[in-house]
Structure 1
Amino acid sequence: IESPPETTTIIITATKPDGRKKLFAELRKRAIAIEFRPPYDNEIPAWIQTHVKTLGRQIAPDAAHLLHMSIGSNLRELNGEIEKLFIATPSNPISREDVAQVIDNTRGITVFELADALGHRQLNKAQILIGRLCEQGEHPAGTIALLVRHFGILRRARWISGQRLPRNAIASRLKVPAFFLNNYLDQARLFDERALWNAHDALLDADNRLKSSGGTPHEILAHLAYRICRASP
């Protein structure tokens, strides 16, 4: 490391590399260091659009958002769904309807539908969807992650909607396509601020229970749905 040949390339894979350690400090001092971190959750729709573009096609912003909400943030799974879209639809750009059709044909019930049911406080529908998601083998940790994002948007939507901003400005601040804005705003109105923070706490509790084996995924998600939908509005 102290005197490597100029042609040397070192690739290090790590979940959370500690840049303070001597190895990383020396590499940064003596070479060009490039970090290929996965995109953050709020960067996924833009990543989808960029990735599709590098493959020679275009995808509409609302289609990228729906793909993210339905599939999650796993880049390998997203790439697989993008490949299916390329095969299934010739349209360019790829539309929201194209994404919905491919997802309906290949994945059954989606977490997006569960988020929508919980956002509308439809407990019975949410419980049915949870049962079907568990039957499909949907990863519960991924489900929780998407629900955390969804209710984070609802909290921001409730706060921003009181500022009397133009619709495009609200959508921009929420980082959601304008096509979905009314749905988020309608859901946000069904909760007061306390209820939304209670939902946030319920999601964190559910995540902790999953990690500590505090029940089956179905039991944990069903209890989560009850806490969210029955919280005081």
Structure 2
Amino acid sequence: MSVNTILSDLKKRKFSPVYLLHGDESYYIDLIADTLERTVLNEAQKGFDQTILYGKDTSIVTFVNAAKRYPMMSDYQLIIIKEAQDLKWKSEEELLLKYLENLTPTTILVLAYKYGKFDKRKKIYKSFEKNGVVVESAKLYENKVGEWIVEQFQSAGRSIHPQAALMMADYLGTDLSKIANEIEKLLLNVSKETEILPLHIEQNIGISKDFNVFELQSALAKRNAVKAIQIVDYFIANPKSNPLPMVIGNLGTYFTKILKYHYLPDKSPQVAAKQLGVHTFFLKEYESAARNFNRRKTFDIIHDLSSYDLKTKGLDIGPFTDSGELLRELVFKILN
């Protein structure tokens, strides 16, 4: 089942007797578990019919025995096992399997299994699927984060400028929980009638709208050496907010897309945007970059980025050079 379908069902108070929430991305696991915690019982009922346990501090025997009991003050009892990956699965798994085959209809049992996938080959996994709801929460690819940010604002009835969404994605990475917190901050601090703009990102999240990786990419695409050097100087003065490995990683992704653009047989806006995984708003910049960096030069830049990435990891043999000088050298090579 999709996360949106499950959240919709919970809003309608359509509950399953058991939920297995697992995967590498903790955001959706927490979102569903927290929604159940808010939805199933009211505050007065929680003292009698809600139990929150942690995998390392409990056992399958303990919560299965609890699950067999009936609620005292409400229609359901809710049992949530957080960090369920820490349970002693091998020694007690059979007991849980027997419970899954004979569920207590008034118990809602939630297992939040984080930082990895539950073994789908196991008999118990098939039983979870057959008798309850299973959600696999996968990590979001970097090139999908901007789109995810736009969707979160749309679901809240708000809009965000593509450039502002890209700034957030570049700065915050793929940690959806962290991004969701910043989105919540923007929703609270920017009036409902206003589109979220780069200025709002600067004011509320602390990302400079003039000095960030996105603006460096734009300056390089236009071969604007003065602007590029200004941004590099800012990065060197603020190394914690703009670490060199992150800058090189973003530039690597950017120039790989420029190379891909060179080889697109169909460069019409809709087709090109889909192939590159970007908003159509940014296509003019990729067109400009492709004019300023031919295929050969783009290959050379990607090679240089790979070489400097190794240097940041200490794998290059040579005299020590600090990260600021490495960045200056790299940008000089890209522009020349």
> TM-score, normalization: structure 1?
0.77
| Structure 2 residue ranges without an equivalent (≥5) | 1-88, 101-108
Deviation at 1:40, TM superposition (A): 0.2
**1:218-229 correspondence runs (5 A):** 218-229=324-335
One-letter amino acid matched to 1:104: E
How far, CA to CA, are the matches of 1:28 and 1:179 in structure 2?
44
CA contact (8 A) 1:151 1:200 kept: yes
One-letter amino acid matched to 2:202: D
Instruction: Name 1:51's counterpart in structure 2.
Output: 152
**1:1-233 correspondence runs (5 A):** 1=89, 2-3=93-94, 4=96, 5-6=99-100, 7=109, 9=111, 11-14=113-116, 25-26=121-122, 28=125, 31-32=128-129, 34-59=135-160, 61=162, 63-69=164-170, 71-92=172-193, 95=195, 98-105=196-203, 106-108=206-208, 109-136=211-238, 137=240, 138-160=242-264, 163=265, 165-212=267-314, 215-230=321-336
CA contact (8 A) 2:161 2:197 kept: no
Larger radius of gyration: 2
Deviation at 1:135, TM superposition (A): 1.9
CA contact (8 A) 2:244 2:323 kept: yes
Residue identity (%) = 23
Higher strand share: 2
CA contact (8 A) 1:158 1:189 kept: no
Cα distance change, pair 131–58 in 1 and its aligned pair in 2 (3 A): same
CA contact (8 A) 2:221 2:285 kept: no
How far, CA to CA, are the matches of 1:178 and 1:10 in structure 2?
38
State the superposition RMSD in angstroms: 2.9
| Structure 1 residue ranges without an equivalent (≥5) | none
Which of 125-134 and 83-92 deviates more?
A: 83-92
How far, CA to CA, are the matches of 2:120 and 2:323 in structure 1?
39
Cα distance change, pair 192–28 in 1 and its aligned pair in 2 (3 A): farther
Deviations, residues 109-155 of structure 1 (Å, cap 9, x unaligned): 21111111222233443233122123222222222222122112211
Ranked by relative contact order (alpha carbons within 8 Å, sequence separation 6 or more), the top structure is: 1
> TM-score, normalization: structure 2?
0.56
Higher helix share: 1
Q: Secondary structure at the match of 2:136?
A: coil
